Structure 1
Amino acid sequence: MLTGKHLRCIFFLSLALAAQAATTMWFNSTNVIPLGNGRLGAQMLGQIPDEVVILNEDRIWSGSLNDPNNKNCAVSLPAFREFVWQDDLYHAQATADAECMATPLSQQMYQTAGNLSIVTPHTGVITSYNHSLDMATAVSTTTYVYEGVQYTRTAFASHPDNVVVIQMSANSTGSIAFNASFVTPMSIPTFSANGENLTMTGQGTGMFGLQGSINFVVTAEFTATGTNAQVKANSNGHPSVLISNADEAVIVLAIDTNYVRYDDISADPNEKVVQTLANVRGKTFDDMLQTHVEDHSSLFGRVDISLGVPSTATFLPTNLRIKFPQGADADQDIFALYAQYGRYLGIASSRNTEASNLQGIWNSVLSPAWGSKHTVNINQQMNSWFAEPLNVAETLDPLWTMISEVAERGVATAQETYNISRGWVGHHNTGIWRDSSPIDAAFYGFWPLAPAWLLQHMYEHYAFNPDPESSFLKNTAYPLMKSLSEFYMDFLVEAPLDVEPNGYIVSNPSMSPEHGIGNYNDTNVSLTYGKRTSPLLTFN
């Protein structure tokens, strides 16, 4: 007979299982598992015998700082607006394309640092494979059995220690052996191996006519334990580090750049990497793991989500759980997992340096989709929606910095694009260089209202903590809102009475982002003016 004590135990066990179902992802085959400390990103693929760890640092971008503002726009704007009043939207959009878009037309791209290759001798049959991510601790674990020995790879990206850490271990002494090397597609790479260190340097590529200027350094420091363990640097051919006969091996990775801020790239990346590694040298793997878990769980552990009783489907591999056509009827907690994964990605990709970009922080190529930029006509907002209601508001701090720096550059864009001397403006994309000009094409980019939507996050941040004396409100949010509002006041124009008989003051240009409003001369157009169905402002 079940007693009250038994029922309570069952209840709390079900809660624990539900929490685990909402915070654990695992796969029975190779799959990307993203790790990040806000600045550094690592993708653990879980491959055997040749593991690949894709590495990122959030300030490795192509190109360099330039002045992209089109000086013809302010002169051409009256003609553009007249085309809009006449409903000649084809020539309006053509005028904006010809006279108002940035130079170069495309913005720079977020790029990869490169890969760490870990080659093991495990070329035979693999059994008992499990590749998992515990989001509650932000630790990735890959386990498998090869020739009767169980091998484990444990990895995390530590925010306090500023490094990526990978541990290779086994349940049999002297079993750890691998060869590690770097590879990168970036410009002017160098590779070296010395003692227990492996180092790669590179530079962001030139793109769209602008020379690459972000220099970076990646260093991996190897330690191994065991009676006969060896760590040997190999400088013949492509430099590498060989580990053999070890009970356990630990790889500590540090990455840094010359970036200080968009207008200052004077830092010494090697000096920063050397200091980072010196700060953790002497710490054990367990020391770094404990520090990391305590830091991460202080943010992630604020919210538990459970949407139902675990089912037989709940503890299947995640790659199977996401494919059930029955949705919530088969696995209610899959939606809790989605929500917690969103929180996890925000913590992992947006802390202290750059805001999460189109791919968070994880990118393996030189030219990712849409440049992996900060797209502020919807995607940047989407990245931030979970932060306030799901209690990780600190992950928005880099967004406030990014907006503030875009506003610095946006003062010149307001003047040179719209002939407006008050306030600042941005458009539908920005990046590490904080460009604020319209890019890509007028259909997408000639939209100066993106910052208003973006600043809604600042209002929400205040609404969740409405302290009128806060430094955030006084020094960041209010000044940015005030100066942007001043720009918009000067940006509004009176619509002709034959267009709007009530004499409305409207925005021109305006659009619904990336939504065409019809074909004009067989061209899809999006630009028009901000029509109202009721008066907003009128001239007397």
Structure 2
Amino acid sequence: MKKYSYLVIIFAAIISCSCAKQSNVESGNLKLWYQQPAENWLEALPLGNGRLGAMVYGKPSVEHLQLNEESLWAGCPEDPYPENVREHYEKFQELNLAGKYEEAQNYALKNLAVSPTSIRSYEPLGSLYIDFGHKDVQNYQRDLNLHHGIATVEYEIDGKRFIRESFISSKYNAIFYHFSGRETVNSNIRFEREKDIRKYINNKNVLCIDGQIFDDEEGYDDNPGGSGKGGYHMKFAARIAIQPQNGEVVTKEDHLIINNTNDFTVIVSAATDYNLDSMNFDRSIDPGIISDNTLNDALNVPYKQIKEEHIRAHSEMFDRVSLNIGNEVADTIPTDVRLQNLRSGSTDSHLAILFFQYGRYLLISGSTRPGVLPLNLQGIWNEDIWAAWESDYHLNINLQMNYWPADVCNLPETLEPLSNFICLLSEKGKTTAKNFIGSDGWIAHHSTNSFGRTTPCGSTKHSQVFNGYSFPMAGAWMSLSLWRHYEFTEDKEYLKNQVYPVIKGAAEFILDFLKENENEELVTAPSYSPENMYIDPATGERMLSCVAASIDIQIIKDIFNACLASEKILSKKRLTHKIQAAMAKLPDVKIGADGTIQEWYEDFEEVEPGHRHISHLFALYPSNQITKDTPKLFEAAKKTIEKRLSTGGGQTGWSRAWIINFYARLYNGDESLKHLDMLLQNQVSPNLFDMHPALAAGIHGLFQIDGNLGATSGVAEMLLQSHNGEIHLLPALPGTWSVGKVKGLRARGGFEVSMEWNNGELISAKVKSINGNNCILKYKKTQVEISFEKEEEVVFNNQLDIIGETKLRTID
């Protein structure tokens, strides 16, 4: 390995020709676009600012914007505990540890299951309708510009052009819908919601919506085990006004009407009385006053200025990363047609770029300020009063996957809502840990909501026991998302104030929770491999609960290592000795009789060999416990994926996205790309939303945002990896991506990387050190170790020699 330290002076000409050159598509023209309006929600286009979301249909006659506010949840804080929970939990542990899994199940169902077993749903704000009366339109096009964060609709009637554009401003925390045309219109604006609102027009011609969720205990409940208390809960409000350039605004009942206008803007503000700090609604917060003030602020600024400010703010984040594959040209094929062509067997590198960048767009739109909550199962976009799985925060892969691309794709600020949420959740989880086992650490189970439930959750008592009680490692897994963010940023204040307290609390719970088995190993009991069943050899029954599922031990090893590293950095030794002692007694990752990574402590027979969860490969991704440095496990991981796929694995979008990341870590870019194409062919909707298969006949598939974001992470992993103590350039480049360039990806240690390649070979790589750290840079079999000054940039060729004039310094 070459070992150098350089103080580098880079020629501007080299930089400009190497990595900064942009194609037509990169220069503000990356879009989803269509030649017809949306007929349903899965064809509409998403807008968001973290707090507010909108799905824009683009219908010429009556425009429809389906709206969301991120904190509008039904229900209230509830953490139900059964009587004598610690006594019964200890017995549940003992029975599992003894291998009496069926007896443990029955005991838990009798003594630990407690209603409400589940939670109520994230709800939509409502729908905005703008009636234009336009019919028989020609030259119709609608699009979503990913660079600008603006949805546009254009069409003609009798040669007269009409343009509508909409966006959601972060600065003004409001939705803007602007219309302009060559002919005047009379437009009627109304707001609809299925329940729980009062509508009226105030004396300023503002359409006011005041609401409060009423949860009817005698009404519909999606969860047989109960979803919580009834009553009047979250309050919310919205305000809608017209900002006309011409024409006259009048009102009729609860409608706004603007007559004789060819240029006006509809502005929508909304708020709830949710308080993140208390993870509860707060009656000292008046959402009506907040909405009034927000609307007034927006009305006092010209639309053109607001639009320009929005584009600058959005583009600053989005344009940090660009990706080109092949010789990009102008995009002349509608997005839905591209999907159909791909399904018919064509190849389409542009669609891969679009899907990669769409994931980044959704992360920006769903998880930035002024938003305060992390992305749920559907991000912030949901049309159903009772969403599938309550649109909750699923902590056994889904919420974790939502943030896999945040750091590597240069959107670190999108992790702020997640970090704050997990810190608050960990405080709530201390009560649960104390009640369950007397621990001073914290625990959360596989599902939670905006109110921060940490007790086990499930739609039925059976689910509560097996998906809830049997996965006490969910909170620990979430903690690792914060640790990974520290690895990328090396922000010691963040480590000290947020990461370490969370990681330490998770480690404390684990140390108190582990039990010694007959082999003098420390194991988890209860445990499970998320949602996958095995055949109990003692009874022949299908079981979920077990001891020391592989993912548990893999998570624990990462938590322990993160805690040890944190204590070393912060000069603390609060848990160091205990962790070192416990680490030595953890079971190893095992290889089963069929040569695959063993999913459970024992080599059980799987009920579903093609199950959607592939949890025993946590060690391959997102962890780095399985690498080429562990060759037997590395080969076993390959066989594990092959077995899953040969028996029907990857049937959900998020599962397919995980496989993209797996193959990238196995340095098999062709297989990664194959599964990216399969996701696009079979598991996305016309608006490129990732889909979960339908839960019942006659129902369309269900949007889950995790697959979008997991796929984006997978593409980044194909191009750049930094998990193994080195920055690995183009580790899994697909053969068909022989020409390309990428700008602005991030690596652990505070590095930013841009690359260009041709004929499948690296031409140049520009590496910037944000913190001024040393790094090991790797391309194929060549490695160099280099030190950087803070904010220094270095350009390398494909031999990892530096391009440009250098002053050589020796590294001792």
Please report the TM-score for the alignment, with normalisation by the length of structure 2. 0.60
Q: How far apart are 1:244 and its partner, in Å?
A: 1.3
Q: Which residue of 2 aligns with 1:24?
A: 31
How high is the sequence identity, in percent, across the aligned residues?
Answer: 28
Measured after TM superposition, the shift of residue 518 of structure 1 is 2.6
Q: 2:119 aligns with which of 103, 107, 127?
A: 107
Distance 1:482 1:364, change over 3 A: same
Equivalent positions of 1:520-539 (< 5 A) are 524-530=542-548, 536-538=583-585
Q: 1:326 to 1:221 in 2, by over 3 A?
A: closer
Residues 150 and 85 (structure 1 numbering): CA distance in 2 closer, same or farther, change over 3 Å? same
Q: 1:190 aligns with which of 198, 206, 229?
A: 198
Aligned match of 1:128 in 117, 139, 157? 139
- Counterparts of residues 194-343 of structure 1 (less than 5 Å): 194=202, 195-206=204-215, 208-210=227-229, 211-226=231-246, 229-235=247-253, 239-261=254-276, 262-266=279-283, 267-310=285-328, 314-325=331-342, 330-343=347-360
Q: Deviations over 1:68-103 (max 9, x none)?
A: 233443211233233323433222223333333453
Corresponding residue of 1:421:
439
For residues 413 and 114 of structure 2, the distance between their equivalents in structure 1, rounded to whole angstroms, comes to 33
Gaps of 5+ in 1: 1-9
Q: Deviation of residue 333 (structure 1)?
A: 1.7
Q: What do residues 423-463 of structure 1 show as CA deviations (whole Å, max 9, x unaligned)?
A: 11001111110001111112222211012211111111111
Report what 2:412 is aligned to: 393
Equivalent-residue separation in structure 1 for 2:515 and 2:110 (angstroms): 22
**Cα deviation, residue 347, structure 1:** 0.7
- Render the CA deviation track for 1:270-289: whole Å, top value 9, x for unaligned: 11111112222221110110
Give distance in 1, aligned partners of 2:148 and 2:549: 50
- Aligned pair in 2 of structure 1 residues 163, 79: CA closer, same or farther (>3 Å)? same
User: Would you say the 8 A contact 1:101–1:439 is kept in 2?
Assistant: no
Match of 1:55 among 50, 53, 67: 67
Question: Which of 171, 181, 188 is equivalent to 2:190?
Answer: 181
Residue identity in the other structure for 2:140 = Y
For residues 110 and 356 of structure 2, the distance between their equivalents in structure 1, rounded to whole angstroms, comes to: 44
Amino acid at match of 1:405: L
CA distance in 1, matches of 2:28, 2:308: 23
**Maintained 8 Å contact 2:528/2:549:** no
TM-score when normalising by structure 1: 0.89
Answer with 157-166 or 272-281: which moved more: 272-281
Q: What runs of 5+ residues in structure 2 fail to find an aligned partner?
A: 1-16, 216-220, 222-226, 555-581, 587-812
Look up the equivalent residue of 2:94 and give its one-letter code. Answer: E
| Residue 202 of structure 1: how far off its partner (Å) | 1.6
Residue 4 of structure 1: aligned partner: none
Q: CA RMSD in A?
A: 2.6
Residue 13 of structure 1, CA deviation: 13
Matched, 1:444 2:459: no
Task: Give the counterpart letter for 1:64 in structure 2.
Answer: C
Q: Does 1:75 align with 2:87?
A: yes
> What secondary structure does 1:131 align onto?
strand
Query: Aligned residues, how many?
Result: 513
Give 3-state SS (helix, strand or coil) of 2:322's partner.
coil
- Report if aligned partners of 2:25, 2:329 keep a CA contact under 8 Å in 1: no
* Counterparts in 2 of 1:133 and 1:20: CA distance versus 1, 3 Å: farther
Counterpart secondary structure, 1:388: helix
Match of 1:488 among 510, 531, 537: 510
Contact 1:412 1:424 in 2 (8 A): yes
Counterpart code for 1:45: Y
Relative to 1, partners in 2 of residues 1:102 and 1:437: Cα closer, same or farther, differing over 3 Å? Answer: farther
Rounded Cα–Cα distance in structure 2 between residues aligned with 1:102 and 1:337:
46
Bigger relative CO (Cα 8 Å, ≥ 6 apart): 1
Distance 1:178 1:438, change over 3 A: same
